[in-house]
Amino acid sequence: MAETKPILTIKSLKEQVYEHLGEQMRTGVLRPGAAIDMEKTSRRLGVSRTPLREALLQLEMEGFVSILPRRRIVVNGLTLRDIRDCYEIIGALESAALRDAFPRLTAAEVDRMDRLNAEMKAAIGRNGFDLYYEKNLAFHDVFLDLAGNELLKRTVRVLKRRLYDFPRLQGFVKAWEQASIGEHAALTALIRKGRREAAAAHIRDVHWSFEVQEKYINRYYAKASAL
């Protein structure tokens, strides 16, 4: 019998298993409701159960899987309640980060945000959702990085992956992306005017408001079985 060669060869084994399972969820190989068999997964990856268990514990902590009795692991679906909660938390955290970063948001940084927003618009014009998503993350990361709170930034990034990456849905709602670009433009305009509290409120009460975005949310997730 041929010896199984490990698929994972760099970083710590736990990190590699975590990234591998995340990629399977992002691409839809592991769908919401699917069970993860520890024995089979351990053999397939050529690793012991320890790094697999550690990776699954992290995924459970972040809300991506549930570890049930009798070693049963299930990929979590995404409900409207989950989405509402994520929006509320991201809105509060990004609003706080923007308030903290505001004194360090120079004209050059705001110019960069405007360039990223223009690149988002161009990506949507070419129906390039993946590029749009990358530029969108980079737009928000400008002020998240300047806030200097790594735990806050990590938390926001995990919640965004929860919303959009596990799995990454095919297609997008162009009207939503266009509205988001307009909201970004309104945000940078407020920053240029020095309106710190108005800008922070805009992030929380418009851009990450579940009620404001609900019509788009319902359309985007229409094909998701959990909804």
19-26 long-range Cβ contacts below 8 angstroms, 24+ apart: 20/45, 21/55, 21/56, 21/59, 22/59, 22/64, 22/161, 22/165, 22/166, 25/64, 25/75, 25/165, 25/166, 25/167, 26/161, 26/165, 26/166, 26/167, 26/168
70/159: higher pLDDT: 159
Q: Which tokens belong to 133? A: 């998503």
Angle 168-111-119 (CA atoms, 0-180°, nearest 5)? 35
Lowest mean pLDDT among 79-83, 149-153, 167-171, 206-210: 167-171
| Mean pLDDT, residues 194-213 taken together | 98
pLDDT at position 6 is: 57
pLDDT at position 171 is: 66
pLDDT at position 10 is: 53
Can you say whether the dihedral through the CA atoms of 156, 162, 167, 171 is positive or negative?
A: negative
| Mean pLDDT, residues 200-219 taken together | 96
Whether the predicted pLDDT of 2 surpasses 80: no
Q: What is the pLDDT of residues 28-53, one digit of tens each?
A: 899 889 999 999 999 999 999 999 99
pLDDT at position 99 is: 98
pLDDT at position 127 is: 87
pLDDT at position 225 is: 44
pLDDT bracket for residue 75 (50, 70, 90): very high
Whether the predicted pLDDT of 71 surpasses 80: no
Strand order in the sheet with 72-75: 35-36, 72-75, 65-68
pLDDT at position 129 is: 87
Whether the predicted pLDDT of 5 surpasses 80: no
Whether the predicted pLDDT of 191 surpasses 90: yes
| Mean pLDDT, residues 81-110 taken together | 97
Whether the predicted pLDDT of 4 surpasses 60: no
